[in-house]
Amino acid sequence: MGGGYKIDKQDGIYFTTSTVVGWVDLFIRDTYKKILADSLNFCIKYKGLNVHAYVFMSSHIHMVVSANNNNLSQIMCDFKKFTSTSLIREILTLKESRREWMVPIFKEAGLLNSKNTHFQIWQNGNHPKETFSPQFTEQKIRYIHQNPVKEGIVLKAEEYLYSSARDYIGLKSPVKTKKLLFDSLGRIYFNEE
């Protein structure tokens, strides 16, 4: 993975960031955010992904994730590969007003990457950081949930539909989230709702 960051412990919990090439603001349309949510839910149901916190921003997604089957790297790779194909298909078939300038960016990125044949949506890597302590984990979850507030999209974190901030206060978001909780000793455990 690019930049020296990689998932060393396949059974660990990681803060990840996946970014669109060129920081293109692709996820301003619900149809594209729905592709991300549906794909994550598929990975949760069929591949053993645990999404503990997430937010979809206009050009990137942040998550705190783990995997039941010690295969987090593979799941992340599959997620990005599938969503890339689905997103490009949607861009090319929908009435996308931004298609004329977006498609050349994705095509050029694909041509520059020997692992791709046509288009590239995501930058290489996920910039994973292992959540080595409860304090670090809580800080990353707060950071994720405050992103839409910081960007001026909403006034309160739980108002943003595509964020686990909703799940953490008892509302539902589009992605099935397995909340992380902390006991009185500072240990992390999953909420098994």
List the CATH number of the domain containing 10.
Answer: 3.30.70.1290
Look at residues 131, 125, 126 and name the one whose alpha carbon lies nearest to residue 9. Answer: 131
How far apart are the C-alpha atoms of 169 and 53, rounded to whole Å? 12
Whether residue 112 lies inside any domain: the answer is: no
pLDDT(184) > 80: no
Please, which pLDDT band fits residue 3 given cuts at 50, 70 and 90?
very low
- Burial environment of residue 163 by CB neighbours within 10 A (0 to 12, 13 to 18, 19 or more): buried
User: Which domain does 159 fall in, by range?
Assistant: 2-93+123-190
Whether residue 138 lies inside any domain: the answer is: yes
Please, which pLDDT band fits residue 68 given cuts at 50, 70 and 90?
very high
Alpha-helical segments (H) within the chain: 30-47, 72-93, 99-112, 134-150, 165-168
Mean of pLDDT over the chain: 91
Distance of CA 25 to CAs 20, 94, 98, 165, Å? 8, 17, 10, 22
How far apart are the C-alpha atoms of 175 and 43, rounded to whole Å? 11
Whether residue 54 lies inside any domain: the answer is: yes
Look at residues 58, 51, 100, 94 and name the one whose alpha carbon lies nearest to residue 76. Answer: 51
Whether residue 14 lies inside any domain: the answer is: yes
pLDDT(2) > 70: no
**In the chain, how many domains are there?**
1
pLDDT(89) > 50: yes
pLDDT value at residue 146: 98
Q: What are phi and psi of 192, to 5 degrees?
A: -95, 45
Whether residue 99 lies inside any domain: the answer is: no
Question: Do you know the residue count of the chain?
Answer: 193
- Are the C-beta atoms of residues 111 and 119 closer than 8 Å to each other? no
Please, which pLDDT band fits residue 112 given cuts at 50, 70 and 90?
confident
Whether residue 11 lies inside any domain: the answer is: yes
What predicted TM-score, i.e. pTM, was given to this entire model? 0.92
Give the mean model confidence (pLDDT) for residues 116-123.
Answer: 88
Whether residue 118 lies inside any domain: the answer is: no
The answer for residues whose C-beta is within 8 angstroms of residue 186's C-beta and 6 or more apart is: 134, 135
Whether residue 103 lies inside any domain: the answer is: no
Cα torsion at 24, 29, 35, 15 (round to 10°)?
Answer: 50
